[in-house]
Amino acid sequence: MGYLAPELIRTGKATPLTDVFAFGMFLLEVACGRRPIGSNKDITQVVLVDWVLEHHRSGSILDAVDPRLMGNFNTEEATILLKLGLLCAYPSPNERPSMRKVMQYLDRDQTTPDPPPTYMSYSMIAMMQNEGFDSYIMSCPPSNTSMGTVPGESSVEIPQEGR
């Protein structure tokens, strides 16, 4: 996945919104000091956007900032960059802001909103889109059970019941 938007992988067609996705991944990589897809000490794959999303959900988004900065950063600006990275890297292109809107957020002409709520990881949503699941299924309410997780890593959620 990396910098390639899910729909670009699926269709092979670049659009302005696939560029927005790549820009979002770039923002996250710079702010976090991590590659879009990497591995942790346990040799398990870590997807940067899902890792930042977990920090956002837990209310600790600033913990995703590159530790090499040793806290020497503007927290308001870091929060804007991380939230904007999540917005731009959202798996569904219709939920991503335009680059014009991105510039308004960066210039602080508008308040950067939170990413759209989802109970799944961005990777799971992208995978479901690539497999042909529609937006209705991806927006089902979270009647799920969470599997065990490694602290600081993304979790996978499994629905308890079918339709």
Mean predicted confidence (pLDDT) in 30-57: 79
Whole-angstrom distance, CA of residue 84 vs CA of residue 55:
14
pLDDT tens digits, one per residue of 12-39: 999 999 999 999 999 999 999 988 777 6
pLDDT at residue number 128: 65
Kindly state whether residue 10 falls inside one of the protein's structural domains.
yes
Kindly state whether residue 62 falls inside one of the protein's structural domains.
yes
163 confidence band (pLDDT: 50, 70, 90): very low
At a CB cut-off of 8 Å and minimum separation 6, what does 37 contact?
1, 2, 45, 46, 47, 48
**Nearest CA to 105 among 30, 20, 47, 32?**
20
Kindly state whether residue 99 falls inside one of the protein's structural domains.
yes
**Nearest CA to 156 among 45, 9, 66?**
45
Q: Is the pLDDT of residue 150 over 90?
A: no
Output the average pLDDT for the chain. Answer: 78
Kindly state whether residue 51 falls inside one of the protein's structural domains.
yes
Kindly state whether residue 152 falls inside one of the protein's structural domains.
no
123 confidence band (pLDDT: 50, 70, 90): confident
Kindly state whether residue 160 falls inside one of the protein's structural domains.
no
pLDDT at residue number 137: 41
- The domain spanning residue 29 has which CATH number? 1.10.510.10
Range from 11-15, 46-50, 145-149 carrying the lowest mean pLDDT: 145-149
Count up the domains in the chain and report the number: 1
101-131: b (≥16 Cβ within 10 Å) or e: bbeebeeeeeebeebeebbbbbbbbbebbee
**42 vs 160: which has the higher pLDDT:** 42
Q: Is the pTM of this model over 0.85?
A: no
**148 vs 89: which has the higher pLDDT:** 89
pLDDT at residue number 130: 55
Kindly state whether residue 90 falls inside one of the protein's structural domains.
yes
122 confidence band (pLDDT: 50, 70, 90): low
Q: Show the domain range for 14.
A: 6-115
Kindly state whether residue 130 falls inside one of the protein's structural domains.
no
